[in-house]
Chains A and B, each alone.
Chain A
Amino acid sequence: MKPGLPYLSLITFLPLAGSLVVLLLPKTQERAMKVAALGASVASLLLTFCAWTRFVPSAGMMFVERHSWITALHVDYYVGVDGLSIAMVFLTALVTPLAMLAHWKLKDNVKLFFFLFLLLQTGMFGVFTALNFFHWFIYWELGLIPMFFLIKIWGHENRTYASFKFFIYTLAGSIGMLVAFGFLWMATGTFDFVELRSLAANGDLAKKIAVFVGDVNGRFGWHWNVTTFTSVLFWATLVGFAIKVPIWPFHTWLPDAHTQAPTGGSMVLAAILLKMGVYGFLRVVLPIFPSQVAAHVDILLLLALASIVLGAFAALAQTDFKRLVAYSSVNHMGYAMLGIFATAATAGPEMLNEKAAALNGAVLQMFNHGISSAALFFMVGVIYDRTHTRALAEYGGLRKIMPIYAGVLGITMFSSLGLPGLNGFVGEFLIFKGAFPVVTTVTVVATIGLVVTAVFLLQMMQKVCFGPLNEKWQWLPDMTACELFIGAVLMLFMFLIGIYPAPLLDAANDAVLALVRLF
Chain B
Amino acid sequence: MNELVKQQWLIPFLPLVAAAVQSLLPRKARKLSAGICLTAMGASCVLALRAFVGTLGHHEAERAVWNFVWFDYGTTRLQLGFILDPMTAAMALMVTFVGFWIFVNATGYMSDDENFTRFFCFLSLFAAAMLGLVVANNLLMLFMCWELVGLCSYLLIGFWYFKPSAATAMKKAFITTRIGDVGFFLGILMLSWQAGTLNLYDGGNGALEQAGKLAGLHGWFGWSMATTIAVLLFIGAMGKSAQFPLHVWLPDAMEGPTPVSALIHAATMVAAGVFMVGRMFALFTAGGSAEHPTFAMDMVLWVGCFTALFSATIAVGQFDIKRALAYSTCSQLGFMMMALGAGGLVPGQFHLLTHAFFKALLFLGSGCVIIGTHHEQDMRKMGGLRKYMPITFWCYLIGMLALAGVPPFAGFFSKDEVLLVTFQRSKVAWGLATFAAFLTAFYMTRQMFMVFAGKWRGGHHEPHEVRWNMWLPIAVLSVFAIGLGFFGGKYEHYLGVHEEELHGKSLVMGLSVAVGAAGILLGWLMYGRKTMAHAEEPDPLEVKLGALFTCLNRKWYVDEFYDATIIRATMLLGEFWRVFDNRVIDGILHGIAWTAWGVSQVVRWVGDEFVINGGFDAGCEGVRLTGREFAKLQTGRIQGYLRILCLGAVILLVIWYLK
Note whether A and B form a binding pair.
yes
Q: Is there contact, CB below 8 Å, between B578 and A318?
A: yes
| B161 in contact with A420 (CB, 8 Å) | no
Q: In the complex where A316-B574, A467-B162 touch, is A352 in contact with B75 (Cβ < 8 A)?
A: yes
A454 / chain B contacts, CB cutoff of 8 Å: 174-175, 178
Q: Are A451 and B164 in contact (CB under 8 A)?
A: no
A252 touches B73 (CB 8 A): no
Q: Is A469 touching B162 in the complex (CB atoms < 8 A)? A: yes
0 or 1 for each of A39-74: is its CB under 8 Å from B? (1 = yes): 000000000000000000000000000000000000
**Would you call B73 and A505 a contact (CB within 8 A)?**
yes
A451 lies within 8 A of B178 (CB):
yes
Q: Which residue of B158, B573, B586 is within 8 Å of A252 (Cβ)?
A: B586
Q: Interface centre among B73, B189, B582, by most A CB within 10 Å? A: B73
Separation of A315 and B571 alpha carbons in the complex (Å): 10
Binds A, one of B140-148, B285-293, B459-467: B140-148
User: Is the pair B74, A444 in contact by a Cβ cutoff of 8 Å?
Assistant: no
Per-residue CB contact flags for chain B residues 576-613 toward chain A (1 = under 8 Å, else 0) read 11111110011001000100000000000000000000
Within 8 A of A (CB), among B175-196: 175, 178-179, 182, 185-186, 189-190, 192-193
B3 interface residue per 8 A CB criterion: no
**CA distance in complex: A354, B194 (Å):** 12
Chain A's nearest CB lies how many Å from the CB of B9? 13
Instruction: From the candidates B71, B166, B193, name the one contacting A506 in the complex (CB within 8 A).
Output: B71
In the complex where A420-B143, A462-B171 touch, is A310 in contact with B74 (Cβ < 8 A)? no
Residues A252 and B585 in contact, CB atoms below 8 Å apart: yes
The smallest C-beta distance from A65 to any residue of chain B, in angstroms, reads 30
B29 CB → nearest A CB, Å: 15
Chain A residues touching B, range: 35 or more
Mask, A402-423, CB within 8 Å of B = 1, is: 0000000000001000011100
B603 to chain A, nearest CB (A): 18
Q: Which of B108-163 contact A (CB under 8 A)?
A: 140, 143-145, 147-148, 151, 154, 158, 161-163
Cβ contact of A458, chosen from B175, B585, B593, cutoff 8 A: B175
Question: Does the CB pair B164–A467 fall under 8 Å?
Answer: yes
Return A509 CB to nearest CB of chain B, in Å: 6
Q: A353 and B73: CB pair below 8 A?
A: yes
Indicate whether B170 reaches chain A with its CB closer than 8 angstroms: yes
Chain B: residues with Cβ within 8 Å of the partner, total of: 52
CB distance from B444 to the nearest CB of A (A): 34
A104 is an interface residue with CB less than 8 A from chain B: no
Kindly state the separation between the CA atoms of A317 and B192 in the bound complex, as whole angstroms: 35
Task: Kindly state whether residue A132 has any CB partner on chain B within 8 Å.
Answer: no
A356 touches B75 (CB 8 A): yes
| Chief secondary structure at chain B's binding surface | helix
B76 at the A/B interface (Cβ < 8 Å)? yes
Q: Which residues of A contact B576 (CB under 8 A)?
A: 313
Question: Could you mark each residue 544-588 of chain B with 1 if its beta carbon is under 8 Å from any beta carbon of chain A, else 0?
Answer: 000000000000000000000000001101111111111001100
Q: A317-B574, A421-B144, A462-B171 are in contact. Are A352 and B182 (CB under 8 A)?
A: no
A168 to chain B: which residues have CB within 8 Å?
593
B-contacting residues, A429-465, CB 8 Å: 429-430, 432-433, 436-437, 443-444, 447-448, 450-452, 454-456, 458-459, 461-462, 465
Whether the Cβ atoms of B74 and A360 lie closer than 8 Å is yes
Contact A502 B72 (CB under 8 A): yes
Task: Please name all residues of chain B whose beta carbon is closer than 8 Å to the beta carbon of A165 when the two chains form the complex.
Answer: 589
Query: How far does the alpha carbon of A468 sit from the alpha carbon of B167 in the complex, in Å?
Result: 9
From A414, which residue of chain B is reached at the shortest CB distance?
B151
Least distance between A275 CB and chain B CB atoms (Å): 20
Are A436 and B574 in touch, CB under 8 angstroms?
no
- Taking the closest CB of chain B, its distance from the CB of A345, in whole angstroms, is 14
Complex contact B189–A432 (CB within 8 A): yes
Chain B residues with Cβ below 8 Å from A469 are 162
Q: Is B70 an interface residue (CB 8 A)?
A: yes
Alpha-carbon distance A165/B585, docked complex (angstroms): 13
Which A residues have a C-beta under 8 Å from some C-beta of B? 165, 168-169, 249, 251-252, 255, 310, 313-318, 352-357, 360, 397, 399-400, 414, 419-421, 425, 429-430, 432-433, 436-437, 443-444, 447-448, 450-452, 454-456, 458-459, 461-462, 465-469, 500-502, 505-506, 509, 512-513, 516
4 nearest A-B residue pairs (beta carbon): A356-B74, A316-B574, A420-B144, A466-B167
10 other A-B residue contacts (CB within 8 Å) besides A419-B148, A451-B179? A317-B579, A353-B76, A356-B75, A420-B144, A437-B193, A452-B570, A452-B574, A458-B171, A462-B167, A466-B167
